[in-house]
């Protein structure tokens, strides 16, 4: 039987067991939306701006192990989506984005709502396709899902001209994909793995540095086993939080620009470092030359060969799928029965405990004014550390990362790579739909939240009971902090004037709004919010406008050159 291109697209999505498509209709995708209307397998979530569709699909993927799907129209639909695509690309999130395009004959004619989608998105997708024949739709979508989720994951875009969605073809969804040009590696090199195990066993000061790759490849259990077997300290990157349980003794906290003192020190002064699904980026190791001044052996496991020896020279590169490689390492460790030298390890832990005793995350609480750190600590207590937490970008993001102790992977969602303000609420939408009934908190600020505030309307339509905790300091806090540290307190355009009454704004969208001004009311407000299981509650916390994020490694400085508090300035 012949089906239209539009029917084929929707059938493909059903074949891929897609639960939700996040999108926004428009001229070039009308036939697709008509087919979505006629079926009930794939549910569509209508956002209020295409950027949010991408973020929601991205979060759906981050909080599950599945591919997120978004659908937008041509031209402005695509350009609005670009920020969301780039956000997912930077954090290696598997997504399939279907975009409408003007009819084939109109391509290149500067038609209404035409843009060069494949050209515009090329640098921020893992791959993209322009479908020029209705017969190619099914194989292309099959390939798109395959490419998105295998190897180093990433967003894949399929651009479909309107006439192709109207043309007809037989529908036959391919069972498998083979591509001669794309064969992602899975098993690591056995010789390298042996070398790595040898190094780990000989280590006197071993250190494990785990990143977002562990979360993406669902390798947390194996990582945890490795850390415990070796008895070594473990740090997680911003993207890796939850990969190793934060409340565990062997966890030394997040590392990097706003990382824990003990984590950064251990990174610098270990003698064998094993990097697992992490990429030594600029916010993690600071100045690479300073990092390299201390001699240590580095083992680097990553699925992407181009991540290895990009910023830091490594001694034992292992390219492979993390769960497979970790399995191999664990098997070798088990078979040998050897363990790192106990005495040296005890010595190493003594040193780490000394660093830890600096208590780098301590802050001076106040009875007068709400400290933002205090809000996150209370959020952790009230949710018993079990909530899904999304954040936007800025100071509140760092406080959420530092003070909410994530014990499980896929519970912490933020834009680590691109640093996109405005992801918080749409991320919340994606997470809540993927995990109905779970507690979902959005930690945000008055700056970021206004970048996708319109999504409060989507939340109303789909009854998404987010708990939005806005740490309102009336500043673009991170910008202000840098201006204070580097630009002589000249707060150029970082003050937020004429803010709306957020509680009333939430109410205007049909939600519950609270405004909290006193430290004593923080816990009560949070408890009240989470008691309202079916309501979205927006809590506008009026926090200390002058608070800064510590510790901090200034840009370009070495990892151990840390400002621990205002006294160090």
Which residues make up the interface to another protein (CB under 8 A)? 118-119, 122-123, 126-127, 130, 147, 179-182, 304-306, 309-310
CA angle 352, 410, 533 (to 5 degrees): 115
Nearer to another protein, 126 or 258 (CB): 126
500 Cβ contact partners less than 8 Å away, ≥ 6 residues apart: none
Catalytic residue list contains 460: no
Task: Quickly tell me which residue has 């064969």 as its tokens.
Answer: 183
Minimum distance from CB of 136 to another protein (Å)? Answer: 12
In terms of CB distance, is 320 or 424 closer to another protein?
320
- CB 182 → another protein: shortest distance, Å? 5
Name the minimum Å distance from CB 322 to another protein. 18
In the annotation, is 377 catalytic?
Answer: no
* 3-class secondary structure, 441: strand
Catalytic residue among 142, 149, 162, 467: 162
In terms of CB distance, is 249 or 293 closer to another protein? 293
**Alpha helices, DSSP H only, in 357-487?**
372-382, 395-403, 424-434, 455-461, 477-486
Please state, as a whole number, how many other Cβ atoms lie within 10 Å of the Cβ of residue 32.
27
Q: How far is C-alpha 71 from the chain's CA centre?
A: 21
Minimum CB distance to another protein, residue 132 (Å) = 9
113 is catalytic: yes
Instruction: Give me the catalytic one of 207, 421, 478, 496.
Output: 478
Cα distances (Å, whole numbers) of residue 366 to 360, 518, 519, 543: 18, 10, 7, 11
198 is catalytic: no
Please state the closest distance from residue 123 (CB atom) to another protein, in A.
5
Among the listed residues 16, 50, 114, 446, the single catalytic one is 50
- Measured CA to CA, the distance from residue 265 to residue 246 in angstroms comes to 18
Give CA–CA dist 163/259, Å, rounded: 52
Centre a 10 Å sphere on the Cβ of residue 239 and count the other Cβ atoms it contains. 31
Q: Are 512 and 486 in contact (CB under 8 A)?
A: no
The set of residues, in sequence order, having a beta carbon less than 8 Å from that of 568 and lying 6+ positions away, is 562
CA dihedral 285, 288, 291, 297 (to 10 degrees): 100
Q: Label residue 264 exposed, middle or buried (CB < 10 Å: 0-12, 13-18, 19+).
A: buried
119/520 with CB nearer another protein:
119
Helix (H) or strand (E) holding 391: strand 388-391
Taking residue 337's Cβ as centre, other Cβ atoms within 10 Å add up to 6
Distance, in Å, from the CA atom of 301 to the CA atom of 438, rounded to the nearest integer, reads: 33
**Cα–Cα dist 234/249, whole Å:** 9
- Name the residue nearer to another protein (CB basis): 53 or 322: 322
Q: 3-class DSSP state for residue 334?
A: helix
CB count in 10 Å sphere of residue 498: 4
The residue (of 182 and 491) whose beta carbon lies closer to another protein is 182
Q: How far is the CB of 262 from another protein (least distance, A)?
A: 31
**Toward another protein, which CB reaches closer, 181 or 489?**
181
As measured in angstroms, the least distance from the Cβ of 121 to another protein is 11
Nearer residue to another protein within complex by CB, 303 or 468 = 303
Q: Cα(31)–Cα(24) distance, rounded to whole angstroms?
A: 13
Which CB, 139 or 545, lies closer to another protein? 139
Radius of gyration of the chain (CA): 24
Shortest distance (Å) from residue 98 CB to another protein: 18
Residue 559 Cα distances to 100, 261, 556, angstroms? 46, 9, 9
The count of other CB atoms within 10 Å of the CB of residue 208 is 27
CA 83: distance to chain centroid? 14
Gap between the Cα atoms of 281 and 212, Å rounded:
12
Q: Which is nearer to another protein, 120 or 554 (CB)?
A: 120
Q: 541 catalytic, yes or no? A: no
Q: Which of 65, 90, 113, 530 is catalytic?
A: 113
User: Considering only CA atoms, which of 223, 235, 226, 224 is closest in space to residue 201?
Assistant: 226
**Tokens encoding 287:** 């100045």
| Least separation in angstroms between CB 82 and another protein | 15
What's the min distance (Å) between Cβ of 120 and another protein?
11
Task: Give me the active site residues, please.
Answer: 50, 112-113, 162, 478
């Amino acid at each position: 039987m012949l089906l239209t291109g539009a029917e084929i697209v929707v059938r493909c999505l059903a074949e891929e067991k897609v639960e939700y498509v996040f999108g926004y209709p428009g001229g070039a995708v009308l036939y697709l939306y008509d087919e979505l209307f006629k079926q009930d397998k794939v549910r569509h979530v209508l956002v209020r701006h295409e950027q949010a569709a991408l973020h929601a699909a991205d979060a759906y993927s981050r909080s599950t192990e599945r591919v997120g799907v978004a659908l937008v129209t041509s031209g402005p639909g695509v350009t609005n989506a670009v920020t969301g695509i780039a956000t997912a690309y930077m954090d290696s999130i598997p997504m399939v984005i279907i975009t409408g395009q003007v009819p084939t004959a109109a391509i290149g004619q500067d038609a209404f709502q035409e843009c060069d989608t494949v050209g515009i998105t090329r640098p921020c997708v893992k791959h993209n396709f322009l479908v020029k024949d209705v017969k190619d739709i099914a194989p292309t979508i099959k390939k798109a899902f395959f490419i998105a989720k295998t190897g180093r994951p990433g967003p894949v875009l399929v651009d479909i001209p309107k006439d192709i969605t109207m043309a007809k073809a037989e529908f036959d969804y391919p069972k498998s994909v083979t591509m001669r040009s794309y064969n992602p590696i899975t098993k690591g090199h056995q010789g390298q793995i042996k070398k790595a195990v040898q190094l780990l066993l000989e280590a006197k000061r071993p250190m494990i540095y785990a990143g977002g790759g562990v979360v993406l490849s669902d390798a947390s259990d194996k990582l945890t086993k490795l850390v415990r077997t070796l008895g070594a300290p473990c740090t997680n990157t911003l993207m890796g939080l939850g990969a190793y349980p934060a409340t565990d003794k062997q966890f030394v906290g997040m590392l990097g620009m706003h990382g824990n003192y003990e984590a950064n020190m251990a990174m610098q002064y270990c003698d064998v470092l094993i990097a697992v699904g992490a990429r030594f980026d600029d916010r993690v190791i600071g100045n690479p030359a300073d990092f390299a001044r201390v001699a240590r052996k580095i083992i680097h496991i990553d699925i992407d060969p181009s991540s290895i020896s990009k910023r830091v020279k490594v001694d034992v590169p292992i390219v492979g799928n993390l769960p497979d490689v970790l399995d191999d390492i664990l098997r070798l460790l088990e078979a040998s029965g050897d363990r790192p030298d106990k005495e040296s390890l005890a010595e190493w832990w003594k040193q780490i405990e000394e660093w830890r005793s600096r208590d780098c995350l301590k802050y001076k609480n106040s009875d007068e004014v709400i400290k933002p750190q205090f809000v996150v600590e209370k959020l952790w207590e009230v949710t018993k550390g079990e909530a899904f937490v999304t954040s936007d970008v800025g100071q509140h993001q760092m406080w959420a990362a530092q003070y909410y102790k994530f014990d499980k992977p896929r519970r912490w969602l933020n834009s680590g790579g691109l640093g996109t303000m405005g992801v918080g609420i749409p991320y919340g939408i994606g997470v809540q739909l993927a995990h109905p009934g779970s507690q979902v908190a959005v930690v945000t600020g008055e700056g970021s939240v206004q970048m996708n505030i319109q999504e409060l309307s989507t939340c109303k339509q789909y009854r998404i009971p987010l708990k939005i905790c806005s740490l309102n300091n009336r500043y673009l806090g991170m910008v202000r902090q840098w201006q204070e540290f580097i630009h002589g307190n000249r707060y150029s355009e970082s003050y937020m004037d004429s803010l709306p009454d957020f509680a009333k704004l939430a109410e205007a969208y049909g939600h519950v709004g609270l405004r909290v001004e006193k430290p004593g009311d923080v816990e009560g407000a949070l408890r009240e919010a989470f008691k309202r299981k079916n309501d979205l509650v927006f809590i506008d916390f009026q926090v200390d406008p002058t608070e800064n994020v510590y510790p901090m490694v200034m840009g370009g400085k070495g990892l151990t050159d840390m400002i621990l508090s205002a006294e160090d300035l």
